[in-house]
Amino acid sequence: MFSVDLGGGAELRPLEPWQAEEFLAHIDRARATVDPWIRWASMSTDLDSARATLQRYADLAARDAGRLFGIWLDGRLVGGTMFVSFDAKAGDCEVGVWLEPDGQGQGLVTRAVRVLIDWALLTRGLHRVEWKCRPDNTASSAVARRLGMRLDGVLRESYPHNGVRHDTEVWSLLATDVLDVAAR
């Protein structure tokens, strides 16, 4: 099975429909901290809906249009990262993340997303990686900064959650940014 060692007992692996039970238990632990930021978290409430979430990403992966990966820490699923969208023809993708409280503060998201960014830009040859988050999600903005992303702007009231519209920050990293750093 595909697995990337993230160090410190953590690994990144595909998250697939057959893992729905483990995924649901994880989302139940993470729900309070994940639901405001990840749209599908509030829809994954039982085994069937959790399996449907994972199947949706498996279908995207089969079309080369998105992917979902879990982050395991000491054998326990504590979060994940995903290509929310992936368009090889256009050369663009969007990366997203989530993490339950037990996985926070250890650099797991930064290390996992770096794997996805390197794969997208250096292996697949995409041109642009986007990261979107609400301005009040300061942990997410901090990860974007650590990854060397630039804030492109703010989309006003673009994200509805529980009847309230929120702004969305759009961050990006270009292949030329990564190649410039690698050349130094």
pLDDT tens digits in sequence order for the chain, 184 residues long: 689 999 999 999 999 999 999 999 999 998 888 777 777 777 888 999 999 999 999 999 999 999 999 999 999 999 999 999 999 999 999 999 999 888 888 899 999 999 999 999 999 999 999 999 999 889 899 999 999 999 999 999 988 878 889 889 999 999 998 766 544 3
- What per-residue confidence (pLDDT) applies to 33? 82
- Would you call 3 exposed, middle or buried from its count of C-beta atoms within 10 A (0-12, 13-18, 19+)? exposed
Q: Report the distance separating Cα 154 and Cα 95, nearest Å.
A: 17
Pairing type for strands 92-99 and 128-133 reads parallel
- What per-residue confidence (pLDDT) applies to 179? 63
Three-class DSSP labels, 111-133: HHHHHHHHHHHHHCCCCEEEEEE
Q: Which domain holds residue 160?
A: 4-183
Kindly tell me the number of DSSP H helices and DSSP E strands found in the chain.
5, 8
The CATH number given to whatever domain includes residue 123 is: 3.40.630.30
SS3 of 98, please?
strand
Q: Which residues pair with 154 in a beta bridge?
A: 169
The total of structural domains in the chain comes to: 1
- What per-residue confidence (pLDDT) applies to 112? 96
